[in-house]
Structure 1
Amino acid sequence: MTDTLGTLTGLRFAKGHGTGNDFVLVADPDGERELAPEQVAQLCDRHLGIGADGLIRAVRSVHLPEGAALLGQNPDAEWFMDYRNGDGSLSEMCGNGVRVFVHFLINQGLAVLAEGEAMTIGTRGGPKVVSRTAGGYRVDMGPWEFIFPQQAREHGTDSLVEAAGLEVARPALSVDMGNPHTVVALADRGELARTVLVDAPSVTPLPPHGTNVEFAVPAEPLVTGDVGNITMRVHERGVGETMSCGTGACAAAAATRFWAGADAPDTWAVAVPGGTVGVRFFAAPDGREHVELSGPAVIVADGVLA
């Protein structure tokens, strides 16, 4: 890999995570420091850079075309989460990332948000309303939908997924959470542990913009105290396996809830290698069913590139 970090000497950054899904964060309020994909990839490299699943640049929405387009209908979306995958490619949205992003804004003195208050964040997956809680943040992730709705509703699945460690291709369901996900249900945690996610699973048919792939194991019993329970691993598009994925947890809950039928609960706990996040489905004022994601956000370090 060509060394590109020398061109970023003096860049201030922070390192944060949400249930182990980790990010390099850069404050660029006036949009003056566009980072090239190769620079992002090296910053996120765990041997040659700082190391992270992705990079988040905090920019005032008015300074990005995507952000400025949101402001007409969402004038409160002052800040835009410019999110890149660990390989430098653009991503629409990250559920863990948006919680860490808001925590970073507060940590940097760029925003003030008391417990119980909310703020709107611009993302490429649309505006997201983030509320501060006693234990972290909750995010209205907006509506969810099937990527292949006809196949999903007729057959309960819409694709086949192959992954190392699984002897045969498995049926799956593709869910749009503002970014694409394909969810596979496995029989037990042993099967989950044997699944190898070093390389990207093969998905047929592949959603138009690629997909993140979640492997989920429903608990037995599935529901305890009106809360559904899932254990999950994920291979993120452009990153590889990560310790957590917020939009992936929402997608896994949506798929499992659909498979479970009409009596399935609206509240879910999704265990990932980095911890547990909460997922809740609710009827929103826009008449659609939205998904809420809740969980912690942590800033672990800040520094300056030498």
Structure 2
Amino acid sequence: MSFDLRFTKGHGTGNDFVLFADPDGATELTPTQIAAVCDRHFGVGADGFIRAVRSTNLSAGAATVAEDPDATWFMDYWNADGSASEMCGNGVRVFMRFLIDQGLVELGPGESIAIGTRAGIRRVSHSDQGFEVDMGVWRLAGGEPLVRAKGLPVARPGVGIDVGNPHVVVALADDDELAGLDLGYLPILDPAPDAGANVEFVVPAEPLVEAGVGRIRMRVHERGSGETLSCGTGAVASALAVRYWAGAGAPDVWRVQVPGGIVGVRMFDGPDGEHVALSGPAELVFDGVLALA
């Protein structure tokens, strides 16, 4: 038996998503169906799949409402292969644009709202340039796994960064090394994290800091999705890693260039530790209806 999925296609700096509104939590797709929707040849095509559900209508949302009663909407996020994920930085911004477009929330310039995710509450602010997401407290995940990637002649050490989902960031020497990677293949981590990780490869700009802003370029292989044009949490992790390597005096504001555009990252003190925020555009591209088995 088939049903019609009414969806919206959106993206944040080329990181693209299929979104649909299911306020009552009545339409739960299977991982196979999600992978079919995200397939770029036989489906709509996307890096991820997002269901908008009222937090009280989803078991995973109950904890976020308990943490913050204002988190009335939950971003039910899935990778392109149908696996569930904690959250997505670009996805949160596109999710916010979608909620506003659907008339589900109102958020004027300068206002903010709490959004529930599997990684906890994420507060989103609206600006004329797009949206900024407070990604919460970050942490070093520990260890320096060796990273092997197709096109990289020698394995390089990475640093583990946790921003609600796991990342390993690798520094490269120059743009030629960055361009020479074939991230259609899964990078190999040794030791391999139990839950996998997104893997970012970064090159510092020359100069690294300009007008008080750090500048880096990045490519990413996302866990469950492959190489994407942008990864919001990956941009955050990359800026944090480069600041960590740079040491004392490194800036707290960063400009991260990804294949799909540019996003901003800033670090700031919170009552529970240092927070990190991601800012950038969010666009909705088209609406459609897809018949699903």
Tell me the TM-score range normalised by the shorter chain: over 0.9
Matched residues in 2 for 1:10 and 1:88: separation?
19
Q: In the alignment, what sits opposite 2:80? A: 86
Q: Which runs of 4+ in 1 moved over 3 A?
A: none
- From 112, 120, 123, the equivalent of 1:129 is 123
Question: 1:117 and 1:241 mapped to 2: Cα distance?
Answer: 33
CA shift digits 1:223-273 (9 cap, x unpaired):
000000000000000000000000000000000000000110000000000
Provide the secondary structure at the position in 1 that maps to 2:19: strand
Which of the numbers 214, 235, 245 marks the counterpart of 1:249? 235
CA deviation after TM superposition for structure 1 residue 194, in Å: 0.2
- State the Cα RMSD in Å: 0.8
Q: TM-score, normalised by structure 1?
A: 0.94
Residue matched to 2:68: 74
Deviation at 1:285, TM superposition (A): 2.3
**Alignment match, 1:154:** none
1:207 CA displacement: 2.1
Matched, 1:263 2:252: no
Output the amino acid matched with 2:279: S
Residue number in structure 1 paired with 2:176: 190
SS of the equivalent of 2:120 reads coil
Does the residue aligned with 1:67 lie in a helix, a strand or coil?
A: helix
Maintained 8 Å contact 1:186/1:217? yes
Residue ranges of structure 2 left out of the alignment (5+ in a row): none
Which among 206, 209, 213 is matched to residue 192 of structure 2?
Answer: 206
Map 1:269-284; keep pairs closer than 5 Å.
269-284=255-270
- 2:95 corresponds to which residue? 101
Q: Which residue in 2 is equivalent to 1:50? A: 44
Counterpart secondary structure, 1:112: coil
Deviation track 1:10-36 (CA, whole Å, cap 9, x = no partner) reads 211000000000000010000000000
Q: TM-score, normalised on structure 2?
A: 0.98
Matched residues, number: 291
SS at match of 2:64: helix
* Identical-pair percentage: 63
* Counterparts of 1:201 and 1:285, CA distance in 2: 36
**Within 2, Cα distance between the matches of 1:108 and 1:295?**
20
Candidates 251, 271, 285, aligned match of 1:300: 285
- Measured against aligned partners, the alpha-carbon deviations of 1:59-78 in whole angstroms (never above 9, x if no partner) come to 00011111011211210000
Equivalent residue for 1:143, pick from 122, 137, 141: 137
State how 1:152-167 maps to structure 2 within 5 Å.
158-167=144-153
Gaps of 5+ in 1: 1-5, 152-157
Letter in 2 for 1:18: G
Query: CA–CA distance in 2 between the matches of 1:171 and 1:94?
Result: 25
Aligned to 2:207: 221
Matched to 1:210, the amino acid is G
Counterpart-to-counterpart distance in 2, 1:284 and 1:69: 21
